[in-house]
Amino acid sequence: MQTIFFILSLALPMAVLAQAPAYNGFPPPAAVPADPVQPEASPAPAAVPAEKKEEPAPPVAGGMNKYDPYLDNHMRAPAPEAGLGLFGMKIKDVEQVLRQYGAKNYSYAFGKYSRMTISAYLVTMYFDRERRLGGVAIEPKPPYQAIAPDARKFFFDLFLKDGDLSKFRAVIANDRLELKYSERQ
């Protein structure tokens, strides 16, 4: 008997709430007749031309349908066969090389750069529209404030190998090392 009263006590408020108007501050939508009646004397409505459906653009290199300026950092990477170390390689291959040295993912901005941490350093790798490495910036992570000389040599050897430094814009400071490929001759 108590079970029946308990069930009814739950069902009664729900039944009352279902009948209560749901006021959210907006008037109820106007009722639209399902089939409007036209007078018999009126002419038939003119044919409305069908809307043109745009065909999707054929995919271009890199799998993108259209150029998006927000995804382009205007970086130009060297050709892979240029022999400039890791520059010109696909970014996923460069990330694999860094992982072999113990690097871990830090962050990623789609179409612009990839960040990884290796030891006490934050490595930002910039890539072009074909996802090839075109620039790199190395900074110490806090609380460190400078790049050690041995670490600077390691990063030069890793990214440039036997590449020509004259083909790059280089910023070599105590707290930052930056290399970006430049097409100037």
How far is the C-alpha of 138 from the C-alpha of 77, rounded, in Å? 18
- From the list 33, 138, 134, the residue with the least C-alpha distance to 82 is 134
With tokens 């050709």, the residue in question is: 79
Domain map (residue ranges) of the chain: 76-181
Q: Comparing C-alpha atoms, which of 185, 176, 60, 72 is closest to residue 134?
A: 72
Q: What is the pLDDT along the chain (185 residues), one digit of tens a residue?
A: 666 665 656 665 555 555 555 555 555 566 666 665 555 555 555 555 555 554 544 555 555 556 666 666 677 788 877 778 899 999 999 999 999 999 999 887 776 889 999 999 999 999 888 889 999 999 999 999 999 999 999 999 999 888 888 888 999 999 999 999 987 64
Query: Which pLDDT score is estimated for 159?
Result: 92
Give the pLDDT confidence score for residue 81 in this predicted structure: 77
Beta strands (DSSP E) in the chain are 104-109, 113-118, 121-127, 133-140, 168-172, 177-181
Biggest distance spanned by C-alpha atoms of the chain: 95
146 close to 173: Cβ distance less than 8 angstroms: no
Provide the terminal-to-terminal Cα distance of the chain, rounded to the nearest Å. Answer: 95
Tell me the residue type at 128.
D
Report the sign of the C-alpha dihedral through residues 16, 20, 22, 25, in that order: negative
Kindly give, in sequence order, each residue whose CB lies less than 8 Å from that of residue 161, ignoring residues fewer than 6 positions away. 84, 85, 86
CB atoms within 10 A of CB 27: 6
CATH architecture of 76-181: 3-Layer(aba) Sandwich (3.40)
For position 131, what pLDDT does the model report?
87
Q: According to the model, what pLDDT value does residue 156 have?
A: 92
**pTM score:** 0.60
